[in-house]
Structure 1
Amino acid sequence: MEQSLQYSNVLYVDDEIHNLNSFKACFRRDFSVFTAPGVAEALQVLKEQEIHLIITDQRMPETTGIEFLESIIKDYPDTIRMLLTGYADINAVVDAINKGRVFKYIQKPWEEALLRQTIKEGLALYATNRSKKQIAEKLEENNRQMEFLLRQSLLS
């Protein structure tokens, strides 16, 4: 199994049910796919599952995809975020990058092979970030242990 596929929980948020069904049908064999027709349902999935990558539609009735992604950064900082939209709005692209910390911006209608590859890249990035975080934590622990040993040796 590829390293990136160790982390394969993908959440797709879109208010159009047929888009959710299409996404699930196309990608359920490649990834663990979770879908949500709105932000409330997406937040529930995030509470119940360890989601590695989120793809959200930009235009939804209760909020925008950017606003949703921005709202979850504090609680889910490591999750890779992607924005999907049928509208080419440069302001949305800029906001996605600056506010929502979006990894990729994808135009609708999406091409299955390209989206699959982009999801794999996002999951590989998640795996890399996770490895870096674990290494940093180990280094921090080693530094604490070294500091303790140095103090003990100075006190002896």
Structure 2
Amino acid sequence: MSKDKITVLYVDDEHNNLMSFKATFRLKYNVLIALSGDEAMEILKQKHVDVIITDQRMPNMTGVQFLEKVLETTPDPMRILLTGYADMGAVVDAVNKGKIFHYLAKPWNEEELTQSIERAYEVYKEKKEIVEMNSKLAVSNDQLEFLVRQSLLS
């Protein structure tokens, strides 16, 4: 992990869960918290986020619905779904619609959640590096095409 902290957004409608998560992970990560999907969307408009963790069962917007909304506006952060219910339908929806990276059951285990966040961040960095390399390759390709054209004209 680099010296910059991973920014994690945790979304849960239970205030106690948010405070517990923040108290547990605030030293390891830059922790942002939201009580609802709508509040989390506002945070995403204002702050850079590397990993999003959301509870599935929330009023007004489920975790899957929130993650679908995130994909429309901010598709880069890695997404992790937490739920206290053995709802396979929610898991399938999360994978298919919310494009989650990982699914964990509540109550979460600190070590397991840390490992999931770290793995998610590694994948996030790899995706960013691939985009950067592709961009550099496109520039190099354009320069090479220009040189070939110049060579053909002379």
Tell me the TM-score range normalised by the shorter chain: over 0.9
What are the superposed Cα offsets for residues 70-127 of structure 1, whole Å, 9 maximum, x if unpaired?
A: 1111321211001000011111111111100000001000011111111111111111
Counterpart-to-counterpart distance in 2, 1:41 and 1:82: 17
1:59 is aligned to 57
User: Structure 2: which 5+ runs fail to align?
Assistant: none
Matched, 1:140 2:138: yes
Counterpart of 2:26, as a letter, is R
Counterpart-to-counterpart distance in 1, 2:150 and 2:123: 41
- The structure 2 residue matched to 1:26, chosen from 18, 24, 27, is 24
Counterpart of 1:28, as a letter, is R
| Contact map agreement 2:5 2:30 (CA 8 A) in 1 | no
Counterpart of 1:153, as a letter, is S
- The structure 2 residue matched to 1:97, chosen from 78, 81, 95, is 95
Counterpart-to-counterpart distance in 2, 1:86 and 1:93: 12
SS in 1 for 2:75: coil
1:79 is aligned to 77
Counterpart-to-counterpart distance in 1, 2:86 and 2:17: 19
Q: 4+ residue runs of structure 1 moved beyond 6 angstroms?
A: none
1:6 positional shift: 4.1
Task: State the superposition RMSD in angstroms.
Answer: 1.2
| Contact map agreement 1:7 1:52 (CA 8 A) in 2 | no
1:141 positional shift: 1.1
User: Structure 1: which 5+ runs fail to align?
Assistant: none
Counterpart of 2:21, as a letter, is F
| Contact map agreement 2:12 2:36 (CA 8 A) in 1 | yes
SS in 1 for 2:118: helix
Counterpart-to-counterpart distance in 2, 1:7 and 1:146: 39
TM-score of the two chains, using structure 2 as the length reference: 0.96
Counterpart of 1:149, as a letter, is L
1:154 positional shift: 1.3
Aligned residues: 154
TM-score of the two chains, using structure 1 as the length reference: 0.94
Is 12-21 or 143-152 further displaced after alignment?
A: 143-152
Greater RCO structure (CA 8 Å; 6+ sep): 1
